[in-house]
Amino acid sequence: MAGRSFDLKEIEKIRGGEGYRNAVRPARRAVYIMLALSFIVFLAIALLGIYRQGLGTFIVTLTSLNPVYFLLSLLIIFVSYSMRYPKWAMYLRRLKVRIGGWKSFVIYMSMYSMDITPGRWGRAIVSYTINQLSNVKFAVTFPAVVTDIFTDFLGFAVVTDAMAIIVNRFVVLSLFLTFLLMVPFIFIYVESPFHLVHKIFKKWRRRIEGLRRLDVVFETATFYFKYNKRLGAGSFIYSMAITVPSMMLNGMALYFVMVGFGVPVTPSQIPIVLFIFSSSLVLGMITGIPGTLGVTDAALIGQLQYFYPGHIGLGLASAITIVFRIATVWFVQAFGFIAFIYTLRYWKK
């Protein structure tokens, strides 16, 4: 499977640990590439700050961060991600997968080791780990992975729209961006559009040989709809009740990074900070760029200056963005990777 795309159909057939390692090699490669690109983005942001302030002044700005507030932001991010575990546990119960306690939690956290892959499809590693523990087929647990991604995306959108209304800025734009973000998921939760597209696809597939590469996408989607019915609408409502508060807590990490840099931001301005955080991510998600690299960073820099013109210039906005994105990209990948390494003990030799 080396050199090929991440093939869900092949993974469902695999039973050995080495075979799985070969299957997910493209996913691991994607993680390495995106982390390298994120470093390049950080470097570009730093150069912006240096261009504006000069090297010496920018270094002083960057090192002025109070480490206590930075550590607090890391703790908040970890708690925010951990808060979402109950919805994952609920998905498994609905799908009749019996893995509980510590094993279930660490498997869930291992998803984030692949969170920077395109479309977050690398999260599918958990379905293999579950298969190794319980012999449950990949297709059975795949709906849990997709639903978890969808509710995460929708959580960001809900926070963005709510904060836009509270702040009374960019309300129409926020609602429009939410609509664009949700359109792809119509094909995940409503079968009729999928079947229509599938019918059109089969027609053109006979004419264009290259379209055969998409066969696995439609085959996997067929399995997905079959098992997704087990989750039901109640699981979606429960998920959102957990996701929205966790996203807001995640946004508080930006608040404390700003405080750590000495920005005079007050608790009454938390809605503004949450809007900056969530809307920047939604903008990045719409582009489909893995990890929302570049787009979210640019949005953060721009909005920090827009909402705090008297306190945050280009240099400080660049420093805040670098630190915050290290916390939300690199740190998340780090604890996800630690969990992933731990779950290797569950793979059959």
User: What does the pLDDT average to over 101-108?
Assistant: 92
Residue 86, classified by CB atoms within 10 Å of its CB into exposed (0-12), middle (13-18) or buried (19+), is middle
Please indicate, yes or no, if residue 220 is contained in any of the structural domains: no
Residue 270 lies in a domain: yes
Q: Alpha-carbon Rg of the chain, whole angstroms?
A: 21
Assess if residue 103 is contained within a domain: yes
Residue 211 lies in a domain: no
Q: Evaluate whether residue 46 is within a structural domain.
A: yes
The tens digit of pLDDT for each residue in 206-263 reads: 777 777 666 655 666 666 676 676 677 777 888 899 999 999 999 999 999 999 999 9
- Across the range 15-39, mean pLDDT stands at 60
Q: Is residue 309 pLDDT above 50, yes or no?
A: yes
Q: Calculate the CA 61 to chain-centre distance.
A: 29
Query: In terms of Cα–Cα distance, which of 9, 1, 6 is closest to 31?
Result: 6
Q: Note whether 329 and 289 are within 8 A (CB).
A: no
The 10s digit of each residue's pLDDT in 267-303 is 999 999 999 999 998 888 877 666 677 788 889 999 9
pLDDT of residue 266: 93
Lowest mean pLDDT segment, chosen from 49-63, 122-136, 316-330 = 122-136
Q: Is the pTM of this model over 0.75?
A: yes
DSSP string, 1-58: -TTS---HHHHHH--SHHHHHHHTHHHHHHHHHHHHHHHHHHHHHHHHHHHHH-HHHH
Dig out the tokens for 35 from the structure.
Answer: 């982390």
- For the segment 15-23, the average pLDDT, to the nearest whole number, is 52
Distance CA 307, CA 84 (A): 30
Residue 19 pLDDT level (bands cut at 50, 70, 90): low
* Mean pLDDT rounded to a whole number for the chain: 81
Number of folded domains in the chain? 1
Ranges 2-6, 23-27, 136-140, 218-222: which has the least confidence:
2-6
Measure the CA–CA gap between 122 and 224, rounded to whole angstroms: 16
Tokens 């908040």 belong to: 76
Range(s) of the domain holding residue 13: 8-190+231-342
Position 155, amino acid: G
Q: Which two tokens stand for residue 272?
A: 């503004």
Secondary structure E strands in 152-250: none
Query: Has residue 225 been placed in a domain?
Result: no
Cβ contacts of 97 within 8 Å, gap of 6 or more:
130, 134, 136, 140, 141
Residue 212 domain flag: no
Whether the predicted pLDDT of 5 surpasses 50: no
Q: Is residue 251 part of a domain?
A: yes
